[in-house]
Amino acid sequence: MNRKKRVAIITPTLTASNSGNWHTAARWARFLRPRYHVAVDQQWNGTDADCLIALHARRSAASIADFFRAFPERPLIVVLTGTDIYRDIDRDRRAQRSLELATRLVVLNELGPRRLPTQLRGKATVVLQSAPALKPGVHRKRGFDIAVVGHLRDEKDPRLVWEMMSQLPVDLPVRVFHAGAALDPVLGRIAAKTARSDARYVWLGDVSRRRARHLMRDAHLLLHPSKMEGGAQAIIEAITAHTPVIASRIDGNAGLLGADYAGLFTPGDAAAAVRLATRAAREPEFYARLRSVCERRAHLFAPERERGAVNRLVDNCLNTRLRSKR
């Protein structure tokens, strides 16, 4: 009987962090375990593995280099995060070396491959992340609720949310529910101050994934203002919970929603975000347009689709005896 092949998944953060990297690693491990022996850790410790999957080119660079030195002919899959693909690969030698050593480079949105160096684009594979579908939520009828889901750090641009609060029309019956831990204490203090001064804004702090999904399900709209994303899981979870989205026009958002999606605004432009939120709240036809597009794209984020893509990726890598020269 042939033994199950061993797959090691490396993620720089584990379960206590409630981070996107951890959730991706845990989900992929679950997808792969029926066919492979899978171990998830923060760093490769030298144990034998037939294939390594590393999330984050820069932060997992040591594990990537060590595995390549130990097993230069074995598959090495690097999953590129938002900070990798939209910052680190331009200036960090460790991230650049990880790209060179990889057998395959996974990007998490449809526009991601264009950010890779031309000579490495042949290694790229797009894998869209997923979330189980939820039944539609029950919206309050005499108001308009907006959910924001993302830890408070610069990349997620929470400052735009607070700037929006001062620009939203005073007669707009809006409430903004903001879920996310204060990874930057300064941002946490601003969130708390905003919540004290504006009753329309509620900062929930860190919440479980389940509660965050229910928050998005029960909101009329998700606002996702990030400066950089590999492929925004919050957008995927909103779409599969039947909630339309307005988001910054960056590849990690547009590469999920579609480049011509009507709910995109220039990154950092709070006034443009306010205009879109106001239209969604006041114009039923515009809101229905956003919702219709999101509903049509929901099938792209079905768990069975991601499961198939991940298993095909690993199968193909393991079935290729010798990789191309890197």
Q: Is the pLDDT of residue 1 over 60?
A: no
52-109 residue pLDDT tens: 999 999 999 999 999 999 999 999 999 999 889 999 999 999 999 999 999 999 999 9
β pairing state of 124-126 and 245-248: unpaired
Q: How far apart are CA 318 and CA 106, in angstroms?
A: 16
Distance between start and end Cα atoms, the chain: 34
pLDDT bracket for residue 148 (50, 70, 90):
very high
How many residues are present in the chain?
326
The continuous run of DSSP H or E covering 79 comes out as strand 76-79
Q: Give the pLDDT mean for 204-208.
A: 94
Mean pLDDT score of the chain: 93
Please name each of the domains of the chain with its CATH number.
6-129+303-319 (3.40.50.2000), 144-301 (3.40.50.2000)
8-49 residue pLDDT tens: 999 987 655 556 678 899 999 999 999 999 999 999 999 999
What is the reported pLDDT for 16? 52
Written as six digits, the tokens of 224 are: 């996702």
210-231 residue pLDDT tens: 999 999 999 999 999 999 998 9
Closest by CA to 236, choosing from 207, 256, 254, is 256
Q: How far apart are CA 203 and CA 284, in angstroms?
A: 27
What is the reported pLDDT for 19? 62
Q: Give the pLDDT mean for 304-315.
A: 97
What is the reported pLDDT for 139? 82
Higher pLDDT, residue 142 or 306: 306
Written as six digits, the tokens of 188 are: 């946490």
Residues 8/44, Cβ–Cβ less than 8 Å: yes
226-248 residue pLDDT tens: 999 989 999 999 999 999 999 99
What is the reported pLDDT for 325? 43
242-267 residue pLDDT tens: 999 999 999 999 999 999 999 999 99
What is the reported pLDDT for 321? 52
The continuous run of DSSP H or E covering 164 comes out as helix 158-167
What is the reported pLDDT for 203? 98
Query: Which DSSP string corresponds to 8-76?
Result: EEE-SS-GGG--HHHHHHHHHHHHHTTTSEEEEESS--S---SEEEEE-TTTTHHHHHHHHHH-TTS-E
What is the reported pLDDT for 3? 79
